[in-house]
């Protein structure tokens, strides 16, 4: 990861890889008879590793499998854990509406196969990451019950040195696509009350199968598109459907005073060769004034 500083901001304090909606099926079956979710996962992991980023954590914001099959969780773990070990990063598994809590807990967490919410807290050298479980067993819409909100308030009672990032599946945001309104996160006022006045700096989510962003209770929300398939938004809202294109993931960079969420498309495209490590090294040898002269002045 580049560590040179040419501008006002030093390198980010922490970096998170944010991926979502892998929707794996047991036996590498095609999702809906058309989407090769296992191949798309492999391609996503390879693209993330190719960035050269060595993240402080990798977060998967739910719908890890499509049907909650134990074999699908085993396949997911088998693909992700060796990759994450190479990156030197912990993996944060967030439950989605297509997941089943007992199989997820047993298959990914080596925990008791119960219907208890899949939650957790990670200390990323001062940056606190909290995973919430917005799933409702037996349903596809989202919610956070009173017990989970009480737990969240207790966790947030003491601020973390670099603040807190929340991760959940259902984003607390409106969407212009009608069918997603039926499957939205309910009791959003309860979540807003739980994080009011706390050190929550960002919320990561999935569920929508397209990248979007907004604010909730004054906190930025970033939704990562799916690795399996995405929504074709270049259609009228009531005709939006899935397409086998547009897959991406997010690079989350955390500074002291801001957090950015960069969308990284997974595409086959031939890049230009102008900016290289050698080019960066040449710029590093120049003074700030010389760099402006060399690169900023219009010719």
For the segment 238-263, what is each residue's pLDDT rounded down to a tens digit? 999 999 999 999 999 999 999 999 99
Q: Can you give the pLDDT at residue 223? A: 98
| Closest to 265 (Cα-Cα) out of 278, 250, 243 | 250
Q: Can you give the pLDDT at residue 42? A: 97
> What are the b/e assignments for 130-148, b being 16+ CB within 10 Å?
bbbbbbeeeeebbbbeeeb
Q: Can you tell me the mean pLDDT for 31-47?
A: 97
Is the separation of the CB atoms in 162 and 254 below 8 Å? yes
Is the separation of the CB atoms in 188 and 151 below 8 Å? no
Q: Can you give the pLDDT at residue 288? A: 94
Q: Can you tell me the mean pLDDT for 208-230?
A: 98
What string of H, E and C letters represents the secondary structure of the chain?
A: CCCCCCCCCCCCCEEEEEECCCCECHHHCCECCCECHHHHHHHHHHHHHHCCCCCCEEEEECCCECCCCHHHHHHHHHHHHHHHHHHCCCEEEECCCCCCHHHHHHHHHCCCCCCCCCCEEEEECCEEEEECCCECCCCCCECCCHHHHHHHHHHCCCCCCCCEEEECCCCCCCCCCHHHHHCCECCHHHHHHHHCCCCEEEEEECCCCCCEEEEECCEEEEECCCCCCEECCCCCHHHCCEECCCCEEEEEEECCCCEEEEEEECCCCCCCCCCCHHHHHHHHCCCHHHHHHHHHCCC
Q: How far is CA 260 from CA 81, 119, 166, 183, 253, in A?
A: 26, 24, 15, 27, 5
Q: Give the integer Cα–Cα distance in Å for 104 and 120.
A: 14
Return mean pLDDT, the chain: 96
For the segment 87-137, what is each residue's pLDDT rounded down to a tens digit? 999 999 999 999 999 999 999 999 999 999 999 999 999 999 999 999 999
Confidence of residue 278 (pLDDT cuts 50, 70, 90): very high
1-5, 191-195, 232-236: range with lowest mean pLDDT: 1-5
Confidence of residue 298 (pLDDT cuts 50, 70, 90): very high
pLDDT > 70: what percent of the chain? Answer: 99
Whether the pLDDT of residue 1 is over 80: the answer is no
Token readout for 257 is 């005073």
Q: Can you give the pLDDT at residue 172? A: 98
Is the separation of the CB atoms in 230 and 265 below 8 Å? no
Confidence of residue 2 (pLDDT cuts 50, 70, 90): low
Tell whether the torsion through CA atoms of 157, 163, 169 and 173 is positive or negative: positive
Q: Can you tell me the mean pLDDT for 229-246?
A: 96
Q: Can you give the pLDDT at residue 4? A: 84
Q: Can you tell me the mean pLDDT for 179-206?
A: 97
Question: What pTM did the predictor assign?
Answer: 0.96
For the segment 140-187, what is each residue's pLDDT rounded down to a tens digit? 999 999 999 999 999 999 999 999 999 999 999 999 999 999 999 999
| Residue 89: half-sphere exposure toward Cβ, Cα within 13 Å | 23
For the segment 133-152, what is each residue's pLDDT rounded down to a tens digit? 999 999 999 999 999 999 99
Q: Can you tell me the mean pLDDT for 34-59?
A: 97
Confidence of residue 271 (pLDDT cuts 50, 70, 90): confident
Q: Give the integer Cα–Cα distance in Å for 67 and 90.
A: 25
């Amino acid at each position: 990861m580049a560590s040179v500083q040419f501008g006002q901001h030093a390198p980010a304090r922490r970096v998170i890889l944010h991926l979502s909606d892998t929707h794996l099926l047991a036996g590498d079956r095609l999702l809906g008879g058309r989407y090769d979710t296992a191949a798309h996962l492999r391609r996503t992991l390879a693209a993330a590793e190719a960035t050269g980023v060595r993240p402080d954590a990798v977060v998967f914001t739910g719908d890890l499998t499509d049907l909650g099959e134990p074999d699908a969780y085993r396949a997911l773990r088998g693909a992700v854990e060796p990759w994450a070990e190479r990156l030197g990063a912990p993996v944060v598994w967030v439950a989605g509406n297509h997941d089943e809590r007992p199989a997820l807990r047993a298959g990914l967490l080596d925990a008791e196969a119960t219907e208890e919410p899949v939650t957790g807290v990670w200390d990323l050298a001062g940056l606190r990451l909290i995973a919430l479980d917005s799933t409702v067993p037996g349903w596809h819409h989202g919610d956070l019950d009173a017990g989970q909100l009480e737990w969240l308030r207790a966790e947030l009672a003491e601020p973390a040195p670099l603040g807190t990032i929340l991760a959940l599946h259902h984003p607390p945001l409106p969407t212009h696509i009608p069918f997603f309104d039926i499957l939205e996160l309910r009791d959003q006022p309860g979540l807003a009350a739980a994080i009011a006045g706390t050190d929550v700096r960002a919320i990561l989510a999935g569920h929508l199968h397209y990248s979007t962003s907004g604010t909730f209770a004054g906190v930025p929300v970033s939704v990562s598109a799916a690795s399996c398939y995405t929504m074709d938004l270049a259609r009228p809202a009531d005709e939006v459907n899935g397409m086998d294109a547009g897959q991406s993931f997010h690079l989350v960079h955390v500074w002291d005073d801001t957090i950015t969420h960069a969308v990284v498309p997974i595409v086959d495209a031939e890049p230009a060769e102008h900016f290289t490590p050698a080019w960066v090294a040449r710029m590093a040898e120049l003074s700030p004034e010389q760099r402006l002269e060399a690169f900023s002045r219009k010719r």
